[in-house]
C-alpha cells in the first residue's frame, strides 16, 4: 500500500488490508472477523486469507463468520 494515500482513495481490498493491520497492531491473541473477504477481488482475498492462516499458525485464535465454506476450510 502507498503510505501517502488517504483511506478514502483506497480500493476495498486496500481498505481491508489497512483494517487488518489496525486490528493486529495491539498484538491480539484472538481475532474475530465477520465476512472479512466480502467484496474483495480474488487476489486480495487469497492474500488476506493467507495472512490469517499465518496469524493462526503463530498459535493465535481466528474466528471467522462467513457464508463461504470453501474459504473457511483452510
Please give the distance of CA 60 from its chain centroid, rounded to a whole number.
14
pTM confidence score: 0.71
pLDDT at residue 74, rounded to an integer: 67
The crossing angle, in degrees rounded to 10, of helices 12-24 and 42-57 is 10
CA-nearest of 27, 6, 24 to 15 is 6
pLDDT digits (tens, 9 = 90+) for 7-49: 889 888 788 778 878 888 898 999 999 988 887 888 888 888 8
Between CA 64 and CA 1, with CA 13 as vertex, the angle to 5 degrees is 120
Amino acid at each position: 500500500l502507498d503510505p501517502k494515500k488517504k483511506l478514502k482513495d483506497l480500493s476495498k481490498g486496500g481498505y481491508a488490508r489497512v483494517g487488518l493491520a489496525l486490528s493486529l497492531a495491539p498484538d491480539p491473541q484472538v481475532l474475530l472477523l465477520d465476512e472479512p473477504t466480502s467484496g474483495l477481488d480474488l487476489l486480495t482475498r487469497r492474500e488476506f486469507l493467507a495472512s490469517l492462516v499465518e496469524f493462526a499458525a503463530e498459535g493465535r485464535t481466528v474466528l471467522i463468520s462467513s457464508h463461504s465454506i470453501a474459504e473457511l476450510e483452510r
